[in-house]
A = this chain, B = another copy of it.
């Protein structure tokens, strides 16, 4: 592997001239520049990123931290992040926290001591100490999906209230009055926002939300299955169910099937987030989807801004909220009775 010295020797200049010339061609005579670029070409010189990192104190790496790799939109997220990172000459590392705060913290620690340029995280429900820890980080941080109150960093997500409103009002228009909601993990920002969207939409239509119809599915398919079982075996069972995410929708669908209800004839079902290969799932689900690829790009762009910004310049926390997209499936119908 050729070093800057080889280039300097071949172009008969000093190594610092090579460094300067290759960085910003404007500080050298055109002819020396040419000699240098030719020499660099000839020996296939590529600056050693490690040496550059040592000098800069940061590596050209961005860390992505997610709770679970099972998350179905996770592949699209990574693809989007990688694409944008690549354009900025950065590699992307990936870590899984298994939704464990201690692991989340250890992971971020590791990333920071590896001197990554920045971190994109879809965080778990934090404790106050954890928020404080995150606030104290020197490494640029962008939060995606679950916003953390009180944390002054860039955020990218969707309008979760709107997402639930879209689904809930769809069901209301179909004539449903008793609608169940399988909510996400209690306390998580997205879960709370979605619950609020659900309640507000009902209230706005003059329907008092029945709190017993709002159950915690903890963003888990299994828990959602159990909760759906509870909902549907009640005498006053709902005629429709809205799940706060895709995994829970699948769990709910399974429960519906296992109880020999038919969807949408007996029970309507809708959810946030599409499911992969949704086309072979019967019935195709009515959903609102997050524009994951765009969110990934936006998050990465935020991060690159901070990485490329001069240390002097303080960028205020920014926020990018996307509007989800409604996709009509065949899982919603007017109530049967």
Contact = CB atoms under 8 A, between A and B. Distances in A.
A75 B69 contact: yes
Interface stretch (A150-158, A162-170, A273-281, A304-312): A273-281
Number of copies: 2
B69 A114 contact: no
Interface in A249-281: 250, 253-254, 257, 275-277, 279-281
A75 B98 CA distance: 12
Contacts of A74: 75
Given A94-B78, A277-B275, A113 B46 contact: yes
A221 interface: yes
Given A74-B75, A96-B79, A96-B82, A276 B279 contact: no
B279 A282 contact: no
A319 interface: no
A76 interface: yes
A25 to B, nearest CB: 22
A51 interface: yes
Contacts of A54: 48, 50-51, 54
A161 interface: no
A281 B279 contact: no
A161 to B, nearest CB: 27
A79 B69 CA distance: 7
A59 B92 CA distance: 14
Interface in A37-52: 46, 48-51
B276 A253 contact: no
Interface string A287-330: 00000000000000000000000000000000000000000000
A66 to B, nearest CB: 10
Interface string A46-77: 10111101100101110100000111101110
Given A253-B280, A254-B280, 19 more contacts: A48-B115, A50-B50, A59-B59, A60-B114, A61-B61, A63-B91, A69-B76, A70-B75, A75-B75, A79-B96, A82-B94, A82-B95, A91-B93, A91-B95, A94-B94, A221-B277, A254-B279, A275-B277, A280-B281
